[in-house]
Structure 1
Amino acid sequence: QAAGRSDIPVAKGASQPLRGRYTYSPQFHGPGGLSRRLPEPAMGAITEGAVDFLNDRLIRHPGETVLVALGPLTNLARLLREHPSALGQAKNIVVMGGAVNTSGNVTSKAEFNFYSDPVAAEIVLSSRLPITLVDLAACRQVGISRERALDLRSAHPLGRLTLDLLQGWFRRESTRQWFEFYDPLALAIALEPAIATVTKVDLDVGLEENESWGATSETGGPGEISLPQQVDAARFFGLLEGLLELEGFAAG
């Protein structure tokens, strides 16, 4: 709606993980999950649920759909269970989640999305489908300082909304000096895969209800998961600057 694209349907996804209970972070995402600063949308969700919606689109448009998963992987895991052949019809699958060879952001080992539904993450990552996993190690390569963020301007409606969210976060988090771009990096890599240099890995997600819950680790075997090693920060920031018409946007 903020982008002027109310023609794009929105489907409701799962309200609970495959096992356990979702972990919410209202202090970061706001009470509704999409920030404190967004107005109530005028448009509503369609009647079709997310799993059936994805199945319908993937089957009707084989090889054309790029899926970008920015939250827990419950919907994709359910899609694999209920419609096993559908996800293989995607052109590309980009997932933001996991913490491979780096520390987590919920526990010392686990990233928020995978911690919220590790069973779903394991189902999706073990599917042998070609997935690009944008983990915390990649996301920590792109960030912006408080000083630079508060100086940014945009004449584009979506750019202004983005800056309202970003600058509002810095004003609320008065001691924080740096913001890392998680979901935006995953979207950028979906648009321009060359932003990241990747290696192929096989990954395991911890399912024991202890300190390994939701942790992501390499198995050492051959795999189909593309894991970014190096991110071209300048190219990433240039893409965001152009899309959102940001003035003075650069790493630093």
Structure 2
Amino acid sequence: MPPNPPADAAVHTLVIDTDPGADDVIALLFAMAAPERLHIEALTTVAGNVPLSKTSRNARLACEWAGRPEIPVYAGAERPLERTPIYAANIHGHEGVTGVKVHEPAAPLAEGHAVDYLIRTLRAAPERSVTLAMLGPQTNLALALTQAPDIVRGLHELVLMSGAHFNGGNITPTAEFNVFADPHAAEAVLKSGVPTTMLPLDVTHKILTSGERIARLRTIGNRAGVIVADILDAYAPQEMQHYDMPGGPVHDATVIAYLLQPSLFRGRLINVEVDSREGMGFGQTVADWYGSLKRPANANWIVDGDAQGFFDLLTEHIARLP
């Protein structure tokens, strides 16, 4: 049997669960530019940054912009498991992406519900063969796990843009948006027993745009580079102003960079739990970095990353697209 490839050369059979969202669109373009490493089976969409109809359209737009209209997009959960739905149009605009014009893509949605797709696909998959990248609220997987707990057999790893600890939150002082939007789903996913890596605000707020980094994307010479640069020019200043940061984060795209080059990141296995109780801590991810509670580790919590390495990797891949 040949040896396992090094982590930075691993090939993933991938499903991306997403709620596009400006940074989601960039993440999707990034992923679709690496077909030799990321074998994308489908995109599944969820309500989050904007309602489901718009996240589903934006996911199909990303496929169109990347020249990958063959990738099916399945629409999923319209609302969280229990809480009142919330959106982030104040950040992502009412269409879910700012800086670019949106339109109805040529490719229609795939037939069927995203949760049914996940159950069917993971049941049929070889054991521990599918990586699930989750860029939004985790409602679809939580519903699938409730209906068919046996699907964990097909999952190799969950890689989530999710949570906050050292950084503090971005929707409340303690909560990150993807978890706050459906903390009950995030709880269920963390209890699934599937190997999980979390890229929280702790790391995404260290991997920031700059004028030079956006300019490199804009001057690649292709349509995708201009789209990414236009999105970042519209999206980043809000974050920079709110957090008094020198650049803007590209949150969800860090998940794709981690899949392609995990050596860019640093973290460790710890216990993470979600506070789903009503109150000031609602939606908080309690990351036991120092092992104070002596509870079993359930997540690889990423705290640091190579910002220039990330933007070099992103630019290299966006340059491959139309």
Q: TM-score, normalised by structure 2?
A: 0.70
Q: Which moved more, 1:146-155 or 1:218-227?
A: 146-155
Farther off after superposition, 203-212 or 189-198: 189-198
Q: How does 1:70-85 map to 2 (within 5 A)?
A: 70-85=135-150
CA apart distance, 1:110: 0.3
Q: Which amino acid aligns with 1:245?
A: A
The CA RMSD measured in Å over matched residues stands at 2.2
Q: What is the alpha-carbon distance in structure 2 between the residues aligned to residue 229 and residue 237 of structure 1?
A: 17
The match for 1:13 is 76
**Is the CA contact 1:146–1:170 (under 8 Å) kept in the aligned structure 2?**
no
- Residue in 1 that maps onto 2:156: 91
Of 139, 151, 161, the residue aligned with 2:227 is 161
> Which of residues 312, 318, 322 in structure 2 aligns to 1:238?
312
Match of 1:187 in 2: 256
| Change in 2 beyond 3 A, CA 1:175/1:96 | closer
Secondary structure, counterpart of 1:178 in structure 2: coil
Query: Given the superposition, is the C-alpha separation of residues 64 and 156 from structure 1 closer, same or farther in structure 2, using an over 3 Å criterion?
Result: farther
> How far did 1:75 drift?
0.4
The answer to whether the 8 A contact 1:95-1:131 is kept is yes
Quote the residue 1:229 is aligned against. Answer: 303
SS at 1:7 equivalent: coil
The residue number in structure 2 matching 1:60 is: 124
Please say if residues 77 and 123 of structure 1, whose CA atoms lie closer than 8 Å, have aligned partners that are also in contact: yes
Letter in 2 for 1:192: Q
How does the TM-score come out when normalised to structure 1? 0.89
Q: Does the Cα contact within 8 Å between 2:209 and 2:248 map onto a contact in 1?
A: yes
Question: Which amino acid is the alignment partner of residue 221 of structure 2?
Answer: A
- Partner of residue 137 from structure 1, selected from 202, 226, 237: 202
Deviates more, 1:233-242 or 1:108-117: 233-242
Conserved 8 A contact 2:196-2:299:
yes
Deviation at 1:85?
A: 1.6
The 2-side partners of 1:205 and 1:172 are apart by 27
**Contact 2:97–2:231 (CA<8 Å) still a contact in 1?**
no
- Asked if the contact 2:122–2:154 (Cα under 8 Å) also holds between the matched residues in 1, the reply is yes
Residue 66 (structure 2) aligns with: 3
Cα offsets for 1:78-109 (capped at 9, x unmatched): 11101112134122210111112321000000
- Three-state SS of the structure 2 residue aligned to 1:200 is strand
Q: Percent identity?
A: 31
Query: What whole-Å deviation, never above 9, does each CA across 1:149-204 have from its counterpart, x for those lacking one?
Result: 35642223322221121123357889575211200101111222222122111111
Structure 1: segments with no counterpart, 5+ residues? 247-252
Q: Which amino acid aligns with 1:17?
A: P
CA contact (8 A) 1:156 1:245 kept: yes
Counterpart code for 2:279? N
Moved more, 24-33 or 71-80: 24-33
1:35-84 CA-partner distances (Å, limit 9, x unpaired): 46333222221121111111222222323322110000000101110111
Classify the secondary structure of the residue corresponding to 1:11. Answer: strand
Q: CA deviation at 1:232?
A: 2.3
For 1:117 and 1:170, the matched residues in 2 are separated by 25
SS of 2:74's partner is coil
**Map of 2:30 onto structure 1:** none
Once the 2 structures are TM-superposed, how far is the Cα of residue 6 of structure 1 from its aligned partner? Answer: 0.6
Distance 2:92 2:255 in 1: 18
Q: Distance in 1 between matches of 2:158 and 2:115?
A: 15
Q: Secondary structure at the match of 2:192?
A: coil
Which one is further off, 136-145 or 56-65? 56-65
Say if 1:79 and 1:87, in contact at 8 Å, map to a contact too: no
The equivalent of 2:89 in structure 1 is 26
Listed as ranges, the gaps of 5+ residues in structure 2 are: 1-63
| Contact in 2 for aligned 1:99/1:109 (Cα 8 Å) | yes
Letter matched to residue 158 of structure 1 = A
**Aligned partners of 1:3 and 1:157 also within 8 Å:** no
| Contact 1:200 1:222 (C-alpha < 8 Å) held by counterparts | no
Task: Report what 1:46 is aligned to.
Answer: 110
Cα offset, 1:224, TM superposition:
2.6
Assess, with a 3 A threshold, how the Cα gap between structure 1 residues 16 and 180 changes in structure 2: closer, same or farther. same
Q: Alpha carbons of 1:35 and 1:43: their partners in 2 closer, same or farther (altered >3 Å)?
A: farther
